[in-house]
């Protein structure tokens, strides 16, 4: 409890340790401070031995808004980790342009700056100013050199050099040129499921996988696929067929309406399902419902009969939306994340399109997610300055063509059908769990995204939608897409099919 803090501040006990002189800190205090700083990505990227040395000498500082931390043109004497707050990087000396620029270059919690200036004792190339109250953990140049941290930094550089030397892509390069490549980036560690890049296409970096593996994901707008729209209407017709036994409506009229509105003109807003919902609600109010096949074919409002008042046409329980391939329920406009590629150790991301002209490049937003990995990230522009004709020829063989959105949508529907069937089968075969006699009451959170919120249920589209997770992808989806992992569609249940299989002599 000594290390508990509120609102993201550095815990008071950790501040006490960071304010002590390095020689007064015990091994236990250094280890405790090192454990707390694991939440900082830039600190976690260093080796464990270097982390202990940094935790031994770092001191705590807190500065207010508009305080200049690093001034352009001065020599670097300190290295900073941001624990709380935000700083801006500007080209002017006093940092005032950061408060006038609508899109300044910002660094947040977990970032660090000043490392290169500390190692080379060179002049600062930019100014860093606090945008709000900010907490830092600072390493001074004197402490850095006194504890032989330069040797630990050189070990990290040697590991990067050996990694690039082991790649067949750079086997013809000299050591001097390979050291330049190793100096362009440093190793970054990412845990399982952590996002490395939200949109890799718009990124200006190249990533080499040193350890572990990563997945390339694509957010698919299912409503933009013809296969999905067709699949939705096929399953909505199953919902329409179920109420036909309940409502005494002429089947021939409904069939003609279904053929006319769904197959010939799918962009129309009025489906048979909506008529059935309206009929049910009007019968409860005591209003007459008259469905005439000729009126349906000629003009839909006449199908409701002369006794229907205009106010009955206003409520819409089943809102629809127009898409490229026809009209589908608005609630069925969803998106899903699909894995399209896996990047293993020794491979890279960003080189497969580096030689292609812009007209041939795949500009779809791609997301890179770690499966537990260590990567080296470097600027694409600086990498291109080092490559020669031999590397260019090798890179031409690395071109990767990712599947289209239509193919991925079809794959999603196939996997979804199998997953839903598997859940039904497991639910049928596994005995129900014995619940305890007393279940404690738990307070519900305001916005809790459970497993049900990630499933689109086509059988309950007319109900009020709850709180669902959404995703805004570079201004291409308005409104934001609801993200789903599966779609529950109307279908025959397994237990209903078992008697048919038994009668047919099928072993179940």
Whole-number pLDDT of residue 326 = 81
Closest CA to 391 of 109, 236, 178, 232: 178
* Element spanning 144, H or E: helix 141-146
Which CATH superfamily hosts domain 12-147?
Answer: Jelly Rolls (2.60.120.10)
User: Under DSSP, is residue 420 helix (H, G, I), strand (E, B) or coil?
Assistant: helix
Answer whether 12-147 and 155-222+335-395 agree in fold.
Answer: yes
**The pair of three-digit structure tokens given for residue 321, joined into one six-digit string:** 């939306």
* Element spanning 50, H or E: helix 48-57
Chain centroid to CA 309: how far? 48
- The pLDDT tens digits for 373-395 are 999 998 888 888 888 888 877 77
* Fold classified for 155-222+335-395: Jelly Rolls (2.60.120)
Closest CA to 412 of 331, 469, 334, 467: 334
Angle, CA 238 vertex, CA 232 and CA 240 arms, to 5°: 100
Q: Which residue in this structure is represented by tokens 């036909």?
A: 244
Largest CA distance in the chain: 94
Whole-number pLDDT of residue 88 = 94
Supply φ then ψ for residue 259, to 5 degrees: -65, -40
**The pair of three-digit structure tokens given for residue 332, joined into one six-digit string:** 């069925």
The Cα 76–Cα 60 span in angstroms is: 18
Q: Where are the domains of the chain?
A: 12-147, 155-222+335-395, 226-324, 405-428+448-503
* Element spanning 482, H or E: strand 481-483
pTM score > 0.85 for this model? no
**The pair of three-digit structure tokens given for residue 469, joined into one six-digit string:** 């997770």
- The pLDDT tens digits for 330-363 are 888 889 999 999 999 998 888 767 666 666 677 7
Closest CA to 159 of 376, 370, 343, 380: 376
Alpha-carbon separation of residue 438 from 434, 435, 441, 442 (angstroms): 12, 8, 9, 12
Closest CA to 177 of 388, 377, 346, 348: 388
Q: Within the chain, which residues score under 50 in pLDDT?
A: 241-274, 287-316, 447-448, 472-478, 506, 508
């Amino acid at each position: 409890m000594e290390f508990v803090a509120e609102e993201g501040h550095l815990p008071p006990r950790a501040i006490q340790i960071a304010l002590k002189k390095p020689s007064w800190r015990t091994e236990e205090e250094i280890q405790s401070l090192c454990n707390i700083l694991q939440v900082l990505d830039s600190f976690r990227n260093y080796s464990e031995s270097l982390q202990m040395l940094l935790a031994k000498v770092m001191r705590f500082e807190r500065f207010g808004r508009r305080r200049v931390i690093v001034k352009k043109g001065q020599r670097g004497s300190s290295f900073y980790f941001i624990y709380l707050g935000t700083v801006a990087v500007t080209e002017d000396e006093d940092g005032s342009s950061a408060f006038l620029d609508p899109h300044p270059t910002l660094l947040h919690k977990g970032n660090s700056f000043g490392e290169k200036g500390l190692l080379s004792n060179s002049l600062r190339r930019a100014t860093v100013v606090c945008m709000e109250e900010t907490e830092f953990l600072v390493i001074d140049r004197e402490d850095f050199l006194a504890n032989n941290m330069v040797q630990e930094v050189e070990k990290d550089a040697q590991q990067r050099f050996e990694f690039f030397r082991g790649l067949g892509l750079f086997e013809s390069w000299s050591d001097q040129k390979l050291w330049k490549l190793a100096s362009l980036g440093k190793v970054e560690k990412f845990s399982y499921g952590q996002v490395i890049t939200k949109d890799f296409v718009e990124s200006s970096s190249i990533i080499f996988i040193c350890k572990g593996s990563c997945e390339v994901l694509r957010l698919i707008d299912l409503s933009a696929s013809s296969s999905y729209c067709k699949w939705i209407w096929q399953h909505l017709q199953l919902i329409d067929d179920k109420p036909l036994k309940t409502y005494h409506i002429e089947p021939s009229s409904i069939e003609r309406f279904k053929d006319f509105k769904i197959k010939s003109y799918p962009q129309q807003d009025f489906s048979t399902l909506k008529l059935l919902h309206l009929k049910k609600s009007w019968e409860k109010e005591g209003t007459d419902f008259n469905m005439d096949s000729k009126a349906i074919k000629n003009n839909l409002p006449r199908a409701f009969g002369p006794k229907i008042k205009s106010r009955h046409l206003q409520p819409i329980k089943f809102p629809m939306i127009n898409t490229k391939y026809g009209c589908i329920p608005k609630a069925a406009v969803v998106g899903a994340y699909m894995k399209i590629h896996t990047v293993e150790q020794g491979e890279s991301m960003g080189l497969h399109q580096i030689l292609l002209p812009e007209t041939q490049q795949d500009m779809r937003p791609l997301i890179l997610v770690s499966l537990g990995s260590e990567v080296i990230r470097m600027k694409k522009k600086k990498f291109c300055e080092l490559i020669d004709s031999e590397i260019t020829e090798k890179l031409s063989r690395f071109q990767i063509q990712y599947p289209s959105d239509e193919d991925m949508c079809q794959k999603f529907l196939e996997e979804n059908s199998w997953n839903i069937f598997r859940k039904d089968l497991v639910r049928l075969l596994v005995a129900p769990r014995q619940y305890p006699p007393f279940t404690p009451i738990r307070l519900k959170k305001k916005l809790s995204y459970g497993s049900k919120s990630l499933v689109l249920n086509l059988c309950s589209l007319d109900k009020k939608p709850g709180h669902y997770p959404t995703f805004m992808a570079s201004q291409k989806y308005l409104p934001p897409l609801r993200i789903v992992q599966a779609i529950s569609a109307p279908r025959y249940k397994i237990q209903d099919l078992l008697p048919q299989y038994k009668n047919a002599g099928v072993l179940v």
